[in-house]
Structure 1
Amino acid sequence: MSSVGRWSEENGDFLLVVSGTTRYAPYLTGWQEFKDHLRKVVKEQPGWADVYSSQGERRGEMQGWCRLRDREDADAAYRVYYRSKGMLVHLWETGRRNEGYRLMRCNCSTHFPEVQEGQHSHGRCGIDIGRVHQLGGKAPASTIPYTTAQYKHPYAIYPQTQTYAPIPVYPVYVIPSPVYSTSTNGMPVNVRGGAVLTEARGIFIRNLSYKCTPEDLNGLLMRTVGYPIDSQLQRDARTGAFKGVATAKFASKEAAQHAASLLNGREHLGMKLHVRMDTDTTVVGRAEPIVVNGSYRY
């Protein structure tokens, strides 16, 4: 890889930007949801994260931005989101000594037909890399180029000479911590802030061959329904023996439903699989309490 000026390999981290609609990527509804989703993918704790509206031709979509410290985590996150339906994914390597940003890889060519494979489309992706320099405090009054390893030429230079008014100071209010209870139908309820919205995003697989390995299971999923966020073979707690059942979790409810429908009744390693939606759910948001007669009703 190359960039303008000297690059400090050992002093860098990584910037991941994913763009898509909340219909297929509900984790892009807010920064907390995006960061919680990333925690299921990476091993180390993600750095700062935020969610913005896309600009230009991709207006109406949302962008999730996050810093990752580990190269292996960055590569794993790129693979997961690259394989998610309709997602535009970019991965930058960053410098901590104001060298700027350099693009490692993106999938612009799969979204924009006129872009050659492996190339980046600055004009159509709707991503403003200058925003990160402002948020991260890097070189606020300079121009910072970034390049890709494949083509070794700058795609864009972002001048950042705009000045901003002082940030107003507001009184600080302490937000009470949520207190959860359980409704009669088993749904978790935040008695201070409304109901927690959940949905099933996993599948439960029975009648697997006892010879099935984690590699066999992942190979089956990759060949049929795509890359899962997580997959687990269920083993006996006492003996450690495989019980012939497994679970797999996907990025959305729709992906899990598609997987259950496609895999149920399919033959694998000589066994006919029985697949259904898993009962475990994933928190996807929060509903405000209903106001009745001027008071909150839970």
Structure 2
Amino acid sequence: MAFVGVVGFGRGGRAVADCKKAPDGSGVTMRAAKIPHSSVAGKEYQKGDPENAQEYFKSYVATHPRDWRIRKQWAEFESRNGALDHAVEILEKAVEEFSSRSSLWSLLAGLEERCGNRKKAVVVYKKAIQEAGECSCLLLPWAVLEAEVGNVKTARDIFKKVIEHNPTDKNAYQAWGYMEFHAANDLAAARAVFEQGTRCCPDAAGLWLAWAQLEDEAGDAKLSERYFCEAAMADPREGSIWHAWGLMEVCFKPAQGRFYSRECPTKVEKADASASLFRIGATRSFWARGGTV
């Protein structure tokens, strides 16, 4: 079963969300100056000397015990170098000391998933909500995880909480809509989610594009074309929209098709749809980059 979306479902893949909260007792925030030893440690990792890099991190942790950022960066370095178990160990200790930091919990849950421990990741999300409070950076990936393991009802309830916290969360609408279509096999429910999302975020080109691609998957060429048009009008310089639209036209109308231009959205133009759309997208993306390749 292929899921498609920005967060969790499909083309965009899963990304660990981050939340910036008010400083804790240490007065350290995410906007503070760069961590002194992180760049040095990173160079040691690049040289293939993780043990020396770890010594740098350990030294900084010992001298700055209230700086939670170094624990996060240390875990990120370890995970990028394939030491997932060690990264999890670092974060487990970190969340004990800095339980209000949602970004630490989010990273820990994501690493548990990468290690194949989905049940443990769910436990992490639940505990994170208790300790750090409800926020999109925890609720959204948790909802996606529940959907991926087949807990549609639980996922749906969590998605609703995300929207309650932020009615303009485009990623939530997209992931929720695709869950209804793929996991719940309910096209009407998926359309209702996207309708609500585009009503709250009418200029969200990515959301219109996701809806167009969903209709493409559902086999409704007319609706797919309509929403590709909305996406292109929302962001006419985004080449990926025109490219995806062109691919849809290739599948449904390879010889003669129609498209709505940005300058004249109500005028139906007869043309070779795929070639025209690819050409428009390439031209507008070129000028969006300032006329440079």
Q: What TM-score range do you get, normalising by the shorter chain? A: under 0.3
TM-score, scaled to structure 2: 0.23
Task: Give the TM-score normalised by the residue count of structure 1.
Answer: 0.23
Instruction: Give the structure with the higher percent strand.
Output: 1
Relative to total residues, which structure has the larger helix share, 1 or 2? 2
Higher relative contact order (Cα pairs below 8 Å, separated by 6+ residues): 1
